[in-house]
A and B are shown apart, each in its own frame.
Chain A
């Protein structure tokens, strides 16, 4: 125990802590704690009123016990009592307890708020700070409701002490983060911005965090902060290291404030005012120059503080992406850091270079460091640094260095840490595909991937290689030869067997001329792997075998024999057994012509966005993945709309399509994996079954035959046919069958909506026990209720030919993706009818259109430039591309359709704000049609990423 205890010692507490530390076992500790809890409880309950000191001591003990990880369910009231003590340390302990053990009891909250209110109005700065700290630490909605309007006043009042201002600024920031709707700056805005000019550096340091957060959300209202921030920064940067007294940290003037100023500027585009911009560029240059000066101290704190500013300055330079000179200087500076002896600097340099690689001005400069980065990948001892190196290699990859980078990544993969293998595999697969000039290299790369890291090769990767081989005749022979060779290995990965089975089944004939890979040799090779494989792979191999019978009639007898043996035809796995039985039958009764038709080579897959990319995006956050993608999507976009300098071969490879990842996988797996009835899909009707249906119910011949005799089970599957038709309109018929028609009329204002449902009985017979219910599935139902749907029950009887009406009141609390479900049950002639429909309540219904100028639009567009804020899809037109039709749809969406904004008059841009109860989400949309190709590119940028994604999904189905 320390000899000196500063401040107010609490002897009892120290003894207790000592006791706990002396406990030899967990049990002893728990016993001691229980004893203490019993003691405290009895003191609190005792008749004798406790004095302030004892109360403080016991509350502090409870706090200690809680912080040890035990539950505390009493003492709150005593802590609240301490708040109104006029002894500072008692008050302080009370506040600490309240901040750590936040309680939701409303009576307590009222008492706490009262105490805070008293302290805030006490004019005693120490008490005021304590109260503000407590609000900032708790930050609950109740506190925001009670104090959000009071604190801005304290913050800007002329007579407020500096230390109180500092606490008030950050307190407000915390409240704004939890309840932005309650913190209204309004009239205070300009005075808050002017805190940047405050004489007290501490006030500026605290205020700037608040201003940055507010600027991100309301850039226009706060834009005057830009010039103030630039002049403040300029004063700091040009000051001597001693000017700022205690705000100088290891010879670096005000490093925290400098970083925050640079960070604030990243909320805005480059200043338009020439003088301001000139001053800022000067600052940035000075910061870059200082990096070259000899250090003023050998302490790591000096270099860290200095480099923190440097990295923040580089972030700003990258954000502006408009000063080639600065970008190249930044890149050179980072290049020096790549070989620095400080691991931290190497890590940050690799990370920062990743973003530089995406700028057209610095991409080439980044590429010059390739050898250093490869070396880092090989020699860094820390996996997180190696990971950054791999990310950077991925980001700097282009046509010129793809082969080298892919080769290095492959060889790294052999020893890579397990934690990053899957991601590495995806990256290699993407680069190989994106930059493949000759496809034999691509096939080699993917097969190598499977060989080296088969366990980490996800389905998307091997599906993709098959898609590409099927679509490109020039590589099919090579692929067949290569997989054949790869399968020779005594132990090869199951994924290799899958690819091998599929490719030989399709293209084995291309290498059958060579006696070393004659049909029978191929078959025996495949079959030698069969018994070691899992059920899905075996199912795939069986399909390959039936394809062999068609390709090579001479193998028919051998294969039939295999199919006929008990382990196949009586396999305990239903899927395998069924395949064996059906294939055997098919091969014996069908004529060669029929066989040839049924087992024809797979038709080319429609070109589509690489499913692997989607997977990588999902797996990784922004930093690592996005850069080249972004850059590339820029280029690809140009191509889609005319320009573009890519060779035809790559555009065919990477031209994206509207088909989502889900259907990519289901499409392929449909044929070879999960199909319950192989003969059906081999006959080419696979498109008729919806993707993703559960295998058991999707047209399984056997099951169907039997189930027909059973009673017609009431269907409860969700019907969402009508759903998508209502994205851009509010009224119409949602559902209709022989019995029932359901019409919809709906109107929305702000975050509220009202939907009228009309149920029409189309028969002449009464519907009995007619009930409806609305439920919110999945995320809607989770603890954050996104959508609040209220409805009154309808009359239980609907006469023949009659129509009844129901009203739903809808409130959008926060953004959401799932739709509410409407379940309808009624009796029609004794049979229970059960129907579930997706209600067309989509996030776009809560749009408020926003008109803006071209300049404003692109400025905001640029502000929403974080990769996750953007969602993009390129897809084929499903409907007429007529201008008027498109305009009507976009207006129906709820946004404002902006004219004269996009330089290309063919394109459409829209802007709107989604109103939810909790927040507003700004959304910008750009739709670029390409009439020639009958394609669209749709881009959404929203202040909330989930909204971008959801809108993109919804809209891609509309055009």
Chain B
């Protein structure tokens, strides 16, 4: 996998993970183009598309689009399930995840992704093992600040 993007229906980027070295300028250009392309597609369309020399695999969950760019040799369907497994991990960790969880705890979303995928390849596909790693990390924390602010 070359990169993964999470963005909202309004086109706001919520998470970006790049597994190939690119300049910030290129990253922004790619993001802009892809967000536009994917948002323009209608529901029920195929989840795969060719884009430049890459294959794009995307899926929408509620208000968020998960979008992966894979190479010619990579398997589209299994990538679709990579996305799903990541969603399951977020869901399990946050307890019925929503876009706001990812906005306010963006660093957690990155940490979970790193436990699951590394260098663009699946590192650990067992849900239990990934969550165990994250929970362990949470146990290591020093202070627990509970935030109590009403949702806006």
Interface residues of A (CB under 8 A from B): 1-11, 14-15, 17-18, 21-22, 53, 60, 63-64, 67, 69, 87-89, 92-93, 96, 126, 129, 132-133, 136-137, 139-140, 163, 166-167, 170-171, 173-174, 177-178, 201-202, 205-206, 209, 246-247, 249, 254-257, 259-260, 263, 266, 301, 304-305, 307-308, 311-312, 343-344, 346-348, 381-382, 384-385, 387, 621-623
Contacts and interface: CB of A to CB of B under 8 A. Distances in A.
Nearest to A138: B21
Contact of B124 (A206, A249, A348): A206
B77 A205 contact: no
Interface string B107-129: 11011001000111111111111
A374 B136 CA distance: 56
Interface in B12-46: 13, 16, 19, 21, 28, 42, 44-46
A394 to B, nearest CB: 15
B48 interface: yes
A497 B8 CA distance: 50
Given A88-B137, A92-B137, A171-B119, A17 B104 contact: yes
Given A9-B145, A202-B124, A621-B53, A170 B81 contact: no
Nearest to A129: B133
B85 A249 contact: yes
B64 interface: no
A139 B119 contact: yes
B80 to A, nearest CB: 6
B61 interface: no
Q: Which one of B16, B19, B44, B81 has the highest number of Cβ atoms from chain A below 10 Å of its Cβ?
A: B81
A297 B109 CA distance: 29
B151 A2 contact: yes
Given A132-B118, A249-B125, A304-B77, 7 more contacts: A5-B146, A8-B138, A167-B118, A178-B21, A256-B125, A307-B77, A622-B72
B85 A8 contact: no
A67 B18 CA distance: 13
Q: Which one of B16, B82, B85, B124 has the highest number of Cβ atoms from chain A below 10 Å of its Cβ?
A: B124
Contact of B81 (A60, A139, A255, A384): A255
Nearest to A346: B46
B81 A301 contact: yes
Nearest to A134: B114
A209 B13 CA distance: 29
Contact of B46 (A129, A136, A206, A347): A347
Contacts of A8: 138, 141-145
Contacts of B13: 67, 69
Contacts of B105: 2, 5-7
Interface in B74-97: 75-78, 80-82, 84-85, 93-95
A305 B85 CA distance: 11
Contacts of A92: 107, 111, 137
A623 B124 contact: no
A174 B2 CA distance: 11
B73 interface: yes
B12 to A, nearest CB: 9
Contact of B151 (A3, A126, A139, A344): A3
10 contacts: A1-B151, A2-B151, A136-B119, A171-B118, A247-B126, A305-B77, A312-B78, A343-B45, A344-B80, A621-B72
Given A6-B94, A206-B123, A381-B45, A96 B78 contact: no
Given A4-B95, A621-B53, A11 B45 contact: no
A133 B147 contact: no
B107 A170 contact: no
A126 B77 contact: no
B121 A206 contact: yes
B15 to A, nearest CB: 8
Interface residues of B, number: 69
Nearest to B119: A174
Contacts of B103: 17, 21
A140 B18 CA distance: 13
B16 A311 contact: no
B147 A14 contact: yes
Contacts of B114: 133, 137
Do most interface residues of chain A lie in helix, strand or loop, or is the interface mixed?
helix
Contacts of B46: 343-344, 346-347, 382, 384-385
B63 interface: no
A259 B75 contact: yes
Contacts of A308: 75-78, 81
Contacts of B78: 255-256, 259, 304-305, 308, 312
Nearest to A174: B119
Contact of A7 (B49, B125, B138, B152): B138
B140 interface: yes
A602 to B, nearest CB: 40
Given A89-B140, A347-B46, A60 B124 contact: no
A249 B83 CA distance: 13
A254 B122 CA distance: 12
Given A2-B94, A89-B141, A343-B46, A312 B75 contact: yes
Contact of A1 (B133, B137, B149): B149
Contact of A304 (B80, B123, B136): B80
B98 A2 contact: yes
Contacts of A163: 124, 129, 133
Given A10-B145, A126-B136, A170 B104 contact: no
- Which 3 pairs, one residue from A and one from B, show the smallest C-beta to C-beta distance? A9-B145, A308-B77, A174-B119
Contacts of A17: 103-104
Contact of A170 (B75, B100, B119, B146): B119
Given A308-B77, A311-B77, A89 B142 contact: yes
Contacts of A381: 42, 44-45
A202 B123 contact: yes
Given A137-B114, A139-B21, A166 B124 contact: yes
Contacts of A348: 48, 76-77
Contacts of A2: 94, 98, 100-101, 104-105, 151
A521 B84 CA distance: 69
A304 B83 CA distance: 12
Contacts of A139: 21, 119
B81 A88 contact: no
Contact of B121 (A21, A93, A209, A305): A209
Contacts of A177: 119
B147 A344 contact: no
A686 B152 CA distance: 77
B122 A205 contact: yes
A384 B77 contact: no
Contacts of B121: 170, 173, 206, 209
Contact of A209 (B16, B47, B122, B146): B122
B151 A202 contact: no
Nearest to A621: B53
Contacts of A96: 107, 110-111
A42 B142 CA distance: 26
B149 A15 contact: yes
A432 B81 CA distance: 42
Contacts of B50: 384, 387, 621
A11 B111 contact: no
Nearest to A53: B143
A787 to B, nearest CB: 22
B150 interface: yes
B119 A305 contact: no
B100 A344 contact: no
A260 B82 CA distance: 13
A3 B144 CA distance: 14
